[in-house]
Amino acid sequence: MEGRDNEGKGPEAEEGRNYCGGLSKSAQKKLLKQQKWEAKKAEKKALEKEQKKREGERKRKEWEERLASVSEEERGKLIESRKSLRKERMEQRSEERERNTERLSRAKECGQKIVIDLEFSHLMTPAEINSLVQQIMYCYAVNKRCREPGHLWLTGCKGEMGTQLKRLPGFDNWIIEKEDRSYMEALEDEKRNLVYLTADSENVVDDLDSSKIYIVGGLVDRNRWKGITMKKAEEQGIQTAKLPIANYLNMSSSQVLTVNQVIEILLKFLETKNWKDSFFQVIPQRKRCQADSEQSQQVKGVDSEEKNDQFESKKQCAQDSTRI
């Protein structure tokens, strides 16, 4: 769940520790699979880029043909109309940036503090680090669009993780706390209010306490490291809790969620104050049992609208992250 956890014992843990050195057969297969997936993803991205380029050329050709087919007077009117539309769109985007900046600045003063703990990068492969970076980018884009955004923190933001984050377009302009230090150092005076969210905790979150600082473990492929966030919190002497997922739906497998799913659930709850709606709007149907999937059809209209919003969010994530 909130930081996929695993204790780092046994052959799988050894596999995780040795990814940059001698690889076991299992690790080699996993790495090869990941490389194939990355290659396929790059190929798809290149194809989409080429299609976008062709579409742009087609539109330019149509525009030129349209101008050539009308009188000089009409041509002038068409050009002026297009300029006006562009100016209007630019003004709308500028206003949207200002609203986003205002909301995020206000969140830094009084928003719910949510920390993404990035101190696990040494346990992940480069591909897993890249995956987490993409999730963080999505978290920022989603938070920026919220009516009541949270006050996001990135702690332990150094090494390869920090390097990849800094490569993101517009990262330096993000209105978010970026700390090279751990959350224990950066929030030393707030230790009593720190709450690590982990599926292994016996404590269930009923409501989000604005005085608390909720921590989400930034770890990909946590099946290698079961219990790691719980163990870390216990060693540091800070509180732990888990989201009340079991109270509202049955998961088809474990309650492990990606970082961006946990962050989005928290943000949804801040807006709706309703855990059930937050879970059903964020957790994919493939992770729910059949009964829960059927139950979600009762709110199909809302669910469909949310799915469209999520699709558009993911589609424009990279663009939005560059606009502050």
CA–CA separation, 49 vs 108, rounded Å? 37
**pTM for the complete prediction?**
0.71
Cα–chain center distance at 214: 16
Q: pLDDT tens-digit profile of 194-251?
A: 999 998 999 999 999 999 999 999 998 656 778 899 999 999 999 999 999 989 887 7
Instruction: Let me know: does 316 contact 93? Beta carbons within 8 Å.
Output: no
Q: Which residues contact 96 (CB under 8 A, 6 or more apart)?
A: 323
Top-tier CATH class for 6-321:
alpha beta
Q: At what angle do helices 300-321 and 275-282 cross, to 10 degrees?
A: 70
Cα–chain center distance at 284: 14
In 3D space, the residue among 11, 5, 39, 9 whose CA is nearest the CA of residue 27 turns out to be 11
Catalytic residue of the set 5, 117, 221, 277: 221
Amino acid 104 reads L
Question: Would residue 5 show up in a list of annotated catalytic residues for this protein?
Answer: no
Q: pLDDT tier at 303 (50, 70, 90 boundaries)?
A: very low
Q: Is pLDDT at 310 greater than 90 in this prediction?
A: no
Domain boundaries, the chain: 6-321
What's the mean per-residue pLDDT of the chain?
Answer: 81
Phi, psi dihedrals of residue 285, rounded to the nearest 5°:
-60, -30
Instruction: Let me know: does 4 contact 225? Beta carbons within 8 Å.
Output: yes
Structure tokens at 155: 């702690």
Pairing mode, strands 6-7 and 194-197: unpaired
Cα–chain center distance at 47: 24
pLDDT value of position 252: 62
